[in-house]
Structure 1
Amino acid sequence: MARDKTARENDSEQSLLDRRAYLKMAGAAAASVAAVGATTSRVDAADYETIEVPAGSRETIRIGGGETFENKLIDISADGAHFRVVTSGSGWTIRNVGVKGQNSDTSDTYSCFALQCDSGGEGLVENLYMGDGSVDRCGHAAIGGYGNAGHVTLRNVHVQGWGADGIYLSQPGVEGNSGGTFTVENAFAKNNNIENIRIGTTGSVIRDSVVHVEGTDPVPSNESGQKAPRGVWLKEQSGLEVENCDIKVSGADAVFANDGGSGTLTDCRVDGSISGDVQTQNVTEGADVTPPEGVPMSAEEAASGGTSEGSSSDEPQTTEESDDEEDSEGDLLELVSGEDTSGVRYEFTVEGSVEKHESGDNAAESSDEITENGDGTVTVSGVAGNGYGDAFYVNGAVTAMDLDESDWTLRYDGEEVSVDELTLPKKLVIDGSNRPNAVSTYTFEVSGKARKSADIGSINDYDTVEDGTISGRVVGGKDGYRFSGDVTGFELDGPANVRVEDDS
Structure 2
Amino acid sequence: MARDTVLDDDGSSDRKPPEGSQATKSNSGLLHRRRYLGLVGSAAAALATTVGTGAAAEDYEEITVAAGDSQTVRLSDGETFSNVLIDITEPNASFHIRAIADDWEIRNIGFRGNWDSTEKENAIICQVNSANATGLIENVYFMGSENDDTYPGITGINVANGHTGDLEIRNVNIQNCPDNSIYGSNPGDSSTHPSGSGGGGPVVIKDSYARNSRAGGFRVGTDGSRVENCVITECDKGIWSYYEHAEVVDSDISNSHHADIVCGAPDWQKAQNAEITVTDTRYGSENNRGAAIHGSSAGTPQRTEPGDVDGVPLSPEEAASGSSSTSTQTADGSDDTTDDENEGEEGNENGGDDDDDQDGSADRSNVIVINANGSNGETSFSFEVTGDIEHTPYLGSQVGTIDGSAVEGTIESGCDAYEFSGEITNFQLVGNADIDVEYDVR
Q: What TM-score results when the alignment is normalised by the length of structure 2?
A: 0.59
Q: 1:110 to 1:355 in 2, by over 3 A?
A: closer
Deviation (angstroms), 1:280: 0.8
1:204 and 2:211 matched: no
Q: Provide the aligned length of Structure 1 versus Structure 2.
A: 292
Note if 1:154 corresponds to 2:169: yes
Q: How far apart are the structure 2 equivalents of 1:236 and 1:83? A: 30
User: Within the alignment, does 1:56 sit opposite 2:68 as a pair?
Assistant: yes
Equivalences for 1:37-436 in 2 at 5 Å? 46-107=58-119, 109-120=120-131, 121-136=133-148, 137=150, 139-146=153-160, 147-175=162-190, 176-213=197-234, 229-237=236-244, 239-259=245-265, 260=271, 261-276=274-289, 277-280=292-295, 283-291=298-306, 292-308=309-325, 352-353=328-329, 372-375=335-338
User: Could you tell me whether the CA contact under 8 Å between 1:69 and 1:94 is conserved in 2?
Assistant: yes
The DSSP-based 3-state class of the residue aligned with 2:101 is coil
| CA RMSD between the two structures | 3.5
Q: TM-score, normalised by structure 1?
A: 0.53
Q: Distance in 2 between matches of 1:66 and 1:168?
A: 23
Alignment gaps of 5+ in structure 2: 1-14, 19-29, 191-196, 266-270, 342-442
Q: Is the 8 A contact 2:230 2:252 kept in 1?
A: yes
- Once the two structures are TM-superposed, the CA of residue 7 in structure 1 deviates from its matched residue by 10
8 Å contact 1:22–1:61 — kept in the other structure?
A: no
Following superposition, the deviation at residue 129 of structure 1 comes to: 0.6
Alignment partners' CA distance in 1, 2:305 and 2:51: 40
2:243 partner amino acid: E
Structure 1: gaps (5+ residues): 29-41, 214-218, 220-228, 312-328, 330-351, 357-369, 379-504
Distance in 2, matches of 1:374 and 1:158, equals 22
Alpha-carbon displacement from aligned partner over 1:87-133 (angstroms, at most 9, x marks no partner): 022111111000111110124x2321001111221100111111354
**1:236–1:306 CA distance, 2 compared to 1 (3 A):** same
Alpha-carbon contact 1:131-1:297 (below 8 Å) kept: no
Give 1:81's aligned amino acid. Answer: A
Q: 1:13 aligns with which of 18, 24, 36?
A: 36
* Per-residue Cα deviation, 1:177-204 (whole angstroms, up to 9, x for no partner): 2222210000111111110000011111
CA distance in 2, matches of 1:20, 1:53: 11
Q: Which amino acid aligns with 2:247?
A: E
| Contact 2:51–2:75 (8 Å) recurs in 1 | no
What letter corresponds to residue 15 of structure 1 in structure 2? G
Deviation at 1:9, TM superposition (A): 3.4
- 1:201, 1:240 within 8 Å by CA — same for their partners in 2? yes
Measured after TM superposition, the shift of residue 250 of structure 1 is 3.8
Equivalent residue letter for 1:186: D
User: Percent identity of the aligned residues?
Assistant: 30
Q: Distance in 2 between matches of 1:165 and 1:286?
A: 21
Residues 408-448 of structure 1 deviation map (CA, whole Å, 9 limit, x = unaligned): xxxxxxxxxxxxxxxxxxxxxxxxxxxxxxxxxxxxxxxxx
After superposition, what is the alpha-carbon deviation per residue over 1:124-173, rounded to whole angstroms, capped at 9, x for unaligned? 01111113544314612111001322111001010111122211110110
Larger RCO, structure (CA 8 Å, separation 6 or more): 2
1:286–1:372 CA contact under 8 A, matched in 2: no
TM-aligned CA deviation for residue 374 of structure 1: 3.2
**Greater Rg by CA:** 1
